[in-house]
Amino acid sequence: IAPKEDDPRKFLVGITLHDGTYSMDYAVHQVYRPDTSGYEQHHGEGIEDFIASKVLKFKTEKYYKVAGCGITKLTAEICPKLATKLWLSQDIVTLVLDPFGKDADHDEQDYHGPTMGTEWQVDEESDSVVRKALEQFGQEHQLRVQVWRHNRVGVDANDKAQLLTRDDFKDTVHFNTWDTTMAYADRLCGTKIAFFNSTPQGGGVALMRHALVRFCRIAKVQCDWYVPRPKPEVFRITKTNHNILQGVDMQSQLTPEHIQALDEWCEQNAERYWLSNGGPLMARSEGGAHVIIIDDPQMPKLVEIAKQNDPDRPVIFRSHIQVRADLVDQPDAHAATVWNWIWQHIHKCDVFVSHPVPEFVPRIVPSEKVGYMPATTDWLDGLNKNLHPLDEEYYLLKFQREAIAKGYKFRFDFAGRDYIVQIARFDPAKGILHVLGAFAKLRRDHMKDWKLGKTPQLVIAGHGAVDDPDAVPIYNEVMETIKRDYQDLEEDIIVMRVGPVDQILNSLMAHSKIALQLSNREGFEVKVSEALHHGKPVIATRRGGIPLQIEHGQTGFLVESDNDTPANVAKYLCDLFADGALYDRMSAAATGVSDEVSTVGNAMSWLYLANMLAQDRTITPNRRWISDMAREELHCPYDESEESKEVLLKRSLSETNRKSSITTENRGSMDNSSNTDTAVEAATDAESPNSKPVCKACLEWAAELATREKNATSAT
Q: Does residue 194 surpass a pLDDT of 80?
A: yes
pLDDT tens, residue by residue, 9-59: 788 999 999 999 999 999 999 988 645 454 444 433 588 999 999 999 999
Distance CA 469, CA 467 (A): 6
Q: Does residue 327 surpass a pLDDT of 70?
A: yes
Q: Does residue 295 surpass a pLDDT of 50?
A: yes
The whole-chain average pLDDT of the chain stands at 86
pLDDT, greater one: 396 or 321: 396
Q: What is the mean pLDDT of residues 304-331?
A: 94
pLDDT score at 406: 85
Distance CA 141, CA 404 (A): 20
Greatest pairwise CA separation for the chain in angstroms: 86
To the nearest whole percent, how much of the chain has pLDDT over 90?
71
pLDDT score at 467: 59
Neighbour tally for 122: CB within 10 Å: 27
pLDDT tens, residue by residue, 112-158: 444 457 788 899 999 999 999 999 999 889 999 999 999 999 999 99
Distances (CA, A) of 362 to 254, 341, 428, 524: 18, 13, 23, 17
Neighbour tally for 662: CB within 10 Å: 12
Q: What is the mean pLDDT of residues 306-323?
A: 95
- Amino acid identity, position 524: F
Q: Does residue 638 surpass a pLDDT of 90?
A: no
Distance CA 507, CA 384 (A): 9
State the DSSP string of 632-694: HHTT----GGGTHHHHHHHHHHHHHHHHHHHHHHHH----HHHHHHHHHHHHHHHHSTTSPP-
Q: Does residue 667 surpass a pLDDT of 60?
A: no
pLDDT score at 476: 93
Distance CA 185, CA 604 (A): 8
Distance CA 87, CA 94 (A): 7
pLDDT tens, residue by residue, 345-355: 999 999 999 99
pLDDT score at 648: 42
Between 312-321, 540-549, 662-671, the lowest mean confidence (pLDDT) is in 662-671
Q: What is the mean pLDDT of residues 173-184?
A: 96
Q: Given pLDDT bands bounded at 50, 70 and 90, which one contains residue 202? A: confident
